[in-house]
């Protein structure tokens, strides 16, 4: 009979414990009803790029190592130098590694933690009791006692992450890492464009300088001819002044061109992070012909070829996961805790009751956010605002990218038209020069008109060289605007559609 009562008591105790746990879970579920719903972003991400009307041509352009198309070993060497010396690449790589370590940190929080606990101490006490019964033979009693004890054990905790808060934190960190990786490509793309642009501007100035030196020789010949004609009394002495001024003007132009070439060399060295003396191996080379064709998929391919667009898209993904994390904060945290230890207690150094032996326990732990003074709502509203900002930045990046590409293409078309007209002018002046050359060799004209014609042609050729350099730089700018051959392997889905279905 006694055994039955004991069993009933145990059943009742278990029922009360289970009932308490059920009440706790029910209260937690009721509190989660206060969690806010996810609303769509204020701005809808753009899926298309306004690039209508652009000419098309070769597909798959530009390639990852787009500078290889110019077949210039000097440019290849400069690009290799940038990998080891450019500080901007080091900064971008450091940001990427920092973001990657954050992913590892957040992912580690999903697993259980185990720790060791140790403790011990010595206690001392002195007690006095007054007013004892007369039968004890004394009316007071005093006693001093000491004790020693210690505990050693292991603790374990595992956050079950039932609502996905920590998983959302991991996904957010992954999004930020992918964004940092794309931003690293943005930095590399900009660096490659700056190197190629400075290098080919230096080559343009070298070609102009060589042409200017030839013009100086022609002007010097004209000056000698004027002096001979004046000395012979068949020319006005003012012709010497005119020829002298012309020679001085050309020498001044050569000095300006040479100065610009030196500035390009200094700028190139600064981009590479080296001393200008380390670039003394550079030699003048003929300028390559610009390739002004566009890829056949320029309208759609722009999204995949711009690393800044990929970075902005990953920022949207990270902001979306931040919303998931902020919303899960309204739910109760459920974790599993365990303790295993060995306890030792020895009062009065051997006298009295002694405790020695293992003990432990395991069970769930639930924490509920009841009153947070608006912190959770403020954090959630902030995450919503961050998503709106990320989408707005993405849309702006897409539109700006389209504007950049269209502007580069229109500039190239204008420069091509100017180059054709410049070539027509050169051909017309050259045709006149050929007629003057025949007249000079027939003895019916002097040499001065022929030299003047050649000098005029060289001045037009200098203008054509400048147009050629501008057209080449426009092509480099277009490659940069198309992402420099960057191709994103994976891109997250835009959140506009998924968020609209949430409630």
Contact between residue 106 and residue 173 where contact means Cβ atoms under 8 Å apart: yes
* Domain presence at residue 455: yes
- Cα–Cα dist 330/86, whole Å: 47
- Cα–Cα dist 97/181, whole Å: 9
**What's the gap between Cα 117 and its chain centre?**
44
Contact between residue 338 and residue 360 where contact means Cβ atoms under 8 Å apart: yes
User: In terms of Cα–Cα distance, which of 81, 479, 55, 499 is closest to 279?
Assistant: 81
Q: Which residue has the higher pLDDT, 367 or 459?
A: 459
Number of domains composing the chain: 1
* Domain presence at residue 53: yes
pLDDT digits (tens, 9 = 90+) for 463-473: 999 999 999 99
For residue 1, is pLDDT > 50? no
pLDDT digits (tens, 9 = 90+) for 132-164: 676 666 666 666 667 777 888 888 887 777 777
∠ Cα 433 437 441 (to 5°): 170
* Domain presence at residue 288: yes
Contact between residue 268 and residue 198 where contact means Cβ atoms under 8 Å apart: yes
* Domain presence at residue 121: no
Confidence of residue 18 (pLDDT cuts 50, 70, 90): low
* Domain presence at residue 430: yes
pLDDT digits (tens, 9 = 90+) for 438-456: 877 777 767 788 888 888 8
Burial per residue of 192-218, b for 16 or more beta-carbon CB atoms within 10 angstroms, e otherwise: bbbbbbbbbbbbbbbbbbebbeebbeb
- Cα–Cα dist 316/491, whole Å: 11
State the CATH number of the domain containing residue 462: 1.20.1600.10
Backbone φ and ψ for 341, nearest 5 degrees, come out as -150, 170
* Domain presence at residue 404: yes
For residue 189, is pLDDT > 70? yes
Contact between residue 45 and residue 388 where contact means Cβ atoms under 8 Å apart: no
pLDDT digits (tens, 9 = 90+) for 24-53: 555 555 555 456 666 666 666 766 655 544
> Highest mean pLDDT range out of 91-95, 140-144, 291-295, 340-344?
340-344
Q: What pLDDT does 500 receive?
A: 40
pLDDT digits (tens, 9 = 90+) for 476-496: 988 888 888 777 777 787 775
* Domain presence at residue 395: yes
For residue 211, is pLDDT > 90? yes
CA distances to 204, 340, 467 from 399, rounded to whole Å, are 33, 61, 29
253-280 average pLDDT score? 92
* Domain presence at residue 183: yes
- Cα–Cα dist 357/344, whole Å: 7
Confidence of residue 502 (pLDDT cuts 50, 70, 90): very low
Terminal-to-terminal C-alpha distance of the chain: 58
Q: Which residue has the higher pLDDT, 320 or 441?
A: 320
Counting residues of the chain whose pLDDT is more than 90, the rounded percentage is: 15
For residue 357, is pLDDT > 80? no
pLDDT digits (tens, 9 = 90+) for 111-121: 777 888 788 77
Host domain of residue 317: 49-113+164-198+245-331+376-500
123-134 average pLDDT score? 68
16-24 average pLDDT score? 52
Backbone φ and ψ for 325, nearest 5 degrees, come out as -65, -45
Angle between helices 87-108 and 165-231 (to 10 degrees): 170
- Partnered with residue 113 across adjacent β-strands are 157
Q: Tally Cβ neighbours within 10 Å of residue 224.
A: 11
pLDDT digits (tens, 9 = 90+) for 46-88: 666 555 444 444 444 467 788 888 999 999 999 988 877 666 6
Counting residues of the chain whose pLDDT is more than 70, the rounded percentage is: 72
Q: Tally Cβ neighbours within 10 Å of residue 474.
A: 22
């Amino acid at each position: 009979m006694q055994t039955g009562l004991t069993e009933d008591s145990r059943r009742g105790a278990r029922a009360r414990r289970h009932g308490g746990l059920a009440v706790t879970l029910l209260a937690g579920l009721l509190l989660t009803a206060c969690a806010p719903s996810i609303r769509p972003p204020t701005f809808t991400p753009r899926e298309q790029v306004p690039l209508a009307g652009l000419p098309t041509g070769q597909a798959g352009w530009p390639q990852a190592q787009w500078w290889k198309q110019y077949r210039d070993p000097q440019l290849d060497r400069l690009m290799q130098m940038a990998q080891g010396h450019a500080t901007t690449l080091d900064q971008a790589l450091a940001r990427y590694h920092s973001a990657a370590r954050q992913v590892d940190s957040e992912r580690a929080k999903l697993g259980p933690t185990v720790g060791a606990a140790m403790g011990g101490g010595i206690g001392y006490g002195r007690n006095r009791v007054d007013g004892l019964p007369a039968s004890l033979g004394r009316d007071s009693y005093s006693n001093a006692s000491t004790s020693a004890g210690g505990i050693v054990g292991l603790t374990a905790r595992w956050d079950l992450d039932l609502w996905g808060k920590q998983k959302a934190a991991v996904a957010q960190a992954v999004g930020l890492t992918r964004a940092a990786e794309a931003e690293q490509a943005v930095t590399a793309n900009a660096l490659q464009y700056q190197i190629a642009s400075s290098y080919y501007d230096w080559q343009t100035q070298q070609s102009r300088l060589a042409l200017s030196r030839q013009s100086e020789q022609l002007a010097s010949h004209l000056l000698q001819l004027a002096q001979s004609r004046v000395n012979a009394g068949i020319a006005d002495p003012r012709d010497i002044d005119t020829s002298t001024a012309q020679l001085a003007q050309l020498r001044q132009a050569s000095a300006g061109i040479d100065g610009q070439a030196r500035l390009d060399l200094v700028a190139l060295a600064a981009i590479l992070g080296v001393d200008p003396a380390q670039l003394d191996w550079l030699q003048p080379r003929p300028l390559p012909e610009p390739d002004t064709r566009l890829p056949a998929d320029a309208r759609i391919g722009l999204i995949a070829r711009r690393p800044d667009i990929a970075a902005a898209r990953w920022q949207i993904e990270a902001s979306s996961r931040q919303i998931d994390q902020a919303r899960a904060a309204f739910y109760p945290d459920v974790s599993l805790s365990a303790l295993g230890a060995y306890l030792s207690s020895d009062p009065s150094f051997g006298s009295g009751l002694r405790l020695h032996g293992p003990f432990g326990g395991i069970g769930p732990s639930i924490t509920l956010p009841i009153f947070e003074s608006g912190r959770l709502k403020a954090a959630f509203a902030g995450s919503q605002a961050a998503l709106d900002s990320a989408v707005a930045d993405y849309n702006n990046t897409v539109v700006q990218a389209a504007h950049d590409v269209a502007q580069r293409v229109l500039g190239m078309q204008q420069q091509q038209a100017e180059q054709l007209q410049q070539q027509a002018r050169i051909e017309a002046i050259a045709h006149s020069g050929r007629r003057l050359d025949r007249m000079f060799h027939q003895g019916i004209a002097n040499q001065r008109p022929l030299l003047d014609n050649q000098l005029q042609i060289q001045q037009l050729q200098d203008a054509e060289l400048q147009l050629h350099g501008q057209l080449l730089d426009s092509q480099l700018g277009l490659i940069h605007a198309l992402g420099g051959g960057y191709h994103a392997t994976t891109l997250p889905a835009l959140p506009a559609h998924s968020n609209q279905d949430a409630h």
